[in-house]
Amino acid sequence: MPTYTPPLRDMQFVMHEVLKVTDDLKACPQHADIDVDTINAVLEEGGKFAAEVTFPLNISGDEEGCTIDRTTHAVTTPKGFKAAYDKYVEGGWPGLSCDPAFGGQGLPLVVNQCFYEMLNSANQAWTMYPGLTHGAHAALHTHGTDEQKQTYLHKMTSGEWTGSMCLTEPHCGTDLGLMRTKAEALPDGTYKITGNKIFISAGDHDMTSNIVHLVLARLTDAPPGIKGVSLFIVPKFLVNKDGSLGAANNIYCGGLEHKMGIHGNATAQMVIDGAIGTMVGQPNKGMQGMFVMMNAARLGVGNQSLGLTEVAYQNALAYAKDRIQMRSLSGPKAKDKAADPIIVHPDVRKMLLTAKAYAEGGRALATYCAVLLDKEHSHPDAKVRQDSGEMLSLLTPIVKAFLTDNGHISTNACMQVFGGHGFIKEWGMEQFVRDNRINMIYEGTNTIQSLDLLGRKVLGNNGATLKKFGKLVGALVMEEGVNEKMAEFINPIAYLGDQVTKLTTEMGFKAFQNPDEVGAAAVDYLRVAGHLVFGYFWARMAQVALREIAAGNTDQFYVAKLQTARFYFAKLFPETASLMRTARTGSAVLMDTDAALA
C-alpha cells in the first residue's frame, strides 16, 4: 500500500527562503498581517487533512468508482467521499482563500495552492469536487451581478454548494464556437436552456445539496462562432428568493463516462432539457467569464500533476531503499544481504531524481504563479497588477502543459522503479500513472497550450512578456555571473535564454510566411520554454542552498537541493538542444505527407 508525507519542508523552503512570499504579500493591504508562522501552521493542518482523511480513500475510491441510478439520475460517490467532504467543510477549508465579504477567510491564494498540491497528492479524484468550485466561484465573483453573488457565493464559499463548468459537447471540445446548446429568453429575464454536455467533471454527486453549473450556450439570435457564446448559471436545484432550495431544475446526469483514471470523480454526461438559467455577464460575451474558470483550472491541472509526481516519487524512493536485486556494478554495498537495494543502481537513481527534480521545480513555478495571482488581484499598484497578470498569462500554459507532461514522465518512471510490482494494482503506482494521464488532455490539450504560448502569448505581442521573463533571468545572471560555484547553474540558463530569443525570432518570421510553422514547432517550443523557466528557479534554489552551506548550515536539506539541481542541469535540461533542432525542421515534413497518411 502506498504512503504519503506532506512535503512541508520543501514548501517552506520555496515560499520563505527562495521566493520570500510574505514580502510580496505584505504589500497587499488585505494580506498586510500575514506572516511565516501563520502560513506554516495552516499548511501543517492542511497536510494532516490530506494525509489522514483523503489519502486513505484513494485506492478504494478508484476501485469502487461512482455509480448512477438510471431511474432517478442520482450519482453516488465512493464510500467515504461524502464523509471526507463533510470534514473538509467542517474544518473551514473551502473558504481558505475566498473573499471575506462572502464568508471566506481571505488568506493568500498561494496558501490555497500549496494546500491543494497536498490534496492532489492524496486523492486527485476527490479533490476535483471542491477544486472545480474555486473556478466557478472566481467567475461569478468577477462577472456575476450583485444578486447572483449574494445568491450563490456565500454557500459556495462555505462548501454547502459546489460548482461545475459545462463546456464540452459530443461534437466539440476545444472549438467551443461549434457548440449547439441553446438559450431562449423568457419574459421574467431568465432563460430556458437546452442541450447536451459531456466530460463534465464533478457534474453530479451526492456530496452537497446543490451544484452550481456554469453553462455555455447560444442565444437564439446569436452570431455564429465563438462570438455568439453566452454564459449562464444553471443550478441543479432552483433557488428561492429567501435562499432556500426550490424545485429540481431540468439539468441532470444522463450517464457516467468509463475512464482510464480518476474513477472516484463523476465525469458526467449532462442533459439540459429546458433548464432555467440566468445570464452571467453580457450577451454573446460568455467566454470572458469562462476564461476566468479555465485559467484557474489550467493552473489547477498543473497542480494535479505536481501532486501526483510528489506522491509517486515518495513511494518509489521508499521501495528502492527496501527492494534488493542484484549487486552494484562497482561491488557489493549491502554485504550482509543476499543482494543490494536497487537504489544503488545508476538508472534507478536517474528515475528517482527525474521525479524529484520535476516535483521540486514544479513546486517553485506553481508557487511563484500563485503569488503572481495574489498580486494581480490584491496589489494596490495598478502597474504591479498589470505586470503580474501579463507574466501569469505567459506562464499559465507552461504550468498546465510542462508540469503535466513531466508528471507523465515521472509517474511512469516511478512505476518502473517497482518493476513488475509497479504494474500490479495493490501497490498504487499504476493508479498514479492512470490518474495523471487525463491532466495532459483536459482544460485544453497540451498541444492547445503550446499553440497558446507560442502563437498568442509570445508572438501575439512580439515577445514583450517573454522579454520580461528574460530580464529576470538576466538579472540572476548578472548577480551570480562571477560566482564560480554558481557557474554550473548560471551558464546553461544564460545560454538558453539567448537561444530562445533567436528561436522565437525565427518562428515569428516563418509564421508570417506560413501559419502551419507555428503548429509544427509549438509543442517543442513550449518544452524549451518550460526548461528555461525551470532552469531559472533551479538556479535560484541552488543559490539559496549554496549561501546556507557557506554560512555554516549543516542541514542536509541544502546538500540534497544542490545535488538535485546538478542532476537537473546535467540530465534533464540538455534535452532543449534536440527540441530546438526539431522545432526548426519546419512544417513540410509533417504537412507534405498525404501519401504516408493515405
pLDDT tens digits for range 526-539 = 999 999 999 999 99
User: Average pLDDT in the 49-57 region?
Assistant: 98
The x, y and z cell numbers of residue 257, run together, are 463516462
Residue 394 DSSP symbol:
H
- Residue 220's nearest CA partner among 188, 182, 193, 187 is 182
Q: What is the pLDDT of residues 316-361, one digit of tens each?
A: 999 999 999 999 999 999 999 999 999 999 999 999 999 999 999 9
Backbone angles phi, psi at 436, to 5 degrees: -70, -25
- Residue 547's nearest CA partner among 494, 488, 479, 485 is 485
State the pLDDT confidence band at 295, using cuts at 50, 70 and 90.
confident
State the pLDDT confidence band at 291, using cuts at 50, 70 and 90.
confident
Q: What pLDDT was estimated at residue 594?
A: 97
Residue 290 predicted with pLDDT over 90: no
- Please state the pTM of the whole predicted model: 0.98
Q: Is 443 a catalytic residue?
A: yes
Residue 148 predicted with pLDDT over 90: yes
Residue 182 predicted with pLDDT over 90: yes
Query: Is the torsion defined by CA of 547, 549, 555, 561 positive or negative?
Result: positive
Backbone angles phi, psi at 12, to 5 degrees: -65, -40
Give kind and range of the element (H or E) at residue 255.
strand 251-256
Is residue 529 within 8 A of residue 399, CB to CB? The reply is no
State the pLDDT confidence band at 40, using cuts at 50, 70 and 90.
very high
Q: What pLDDT was estimated at residue 227?
A: 93
Over 184-252, what HEC string results? EECCCCCEEEEEEEEEEECCCCCCCCEEEEEEEEEECCCCCHHHHCEEEEEECEEECCCCCEEEECCEE
C-alpha distances out from residue 462 to 275, 451, 456, 507, 533, Å:
45, 15, 9, 11, 19
Q: What pLDDT was estimated at residue 294?
A: 82
Q: What pLDDT was estimated at residue 520?
A: 98
Q: What is the pLDDT of residues 503-555, one digit of tens each?
A: 999 999 999 999 999 999 999 999 999 999 999 999 999 999 999 999 999 99
Residue 449 predicted with pLDDT over 90: yes
Is residue 311 within 8 A of residue 432, CB to CB? The reply is yes
Residue 292 predicted with pLDDT over 90: no
Is residue 319 within 8 A of residue 355, CB to CB? The reply is no
Q: What pLDDT was estimated at residue 522?
A: 98
Residue 176 predicted with pLDDT over 90: no
Is residue 310 within 8 A of residue 359, CB to CB? The reply is yes
Residue 36 predicted with pLDDT over 90: yes
Q: How far is it, in rounded angstroms, from Cα 68 to Cα 444?
A: 27
Cell 467515504 -> residue:
80
Q: Which of 430, 443, 480, 517 is catalytic?
A: 443
Average pLDDT in the chain: 97
State the pLDDT confidence band at 175, using cuts at 50, 70 and 90.
confident
Q: What is the pLDDT of residues 4-15, one digit of tens each?
A: 999 999 999 999
- Residue 393's nearest CA partner among 446, 473, 463, 453 is 453
Q: Which of 242-251, 291-300, 434-443 has the lowest mean pLDDT?
A: 291-300
Backbone angles phi, psi at 262, to 5 degrees: 40, 50
User: Average pLDDT in the 37-57 region?
Assistant: 98
Q: What pLDDT was estimated at residue 289?
A: 84
Q: What pLDDT was estimated at residue 260?
A: 98
State the pLDDT confidence band at 313, using cuts at 50, 70 and 90.
very high
- DSSP per-residue string spanning 140-179: HHHH--HHHHHHHHHHHHHTSEEEEEE--BTTBSS-GGG-
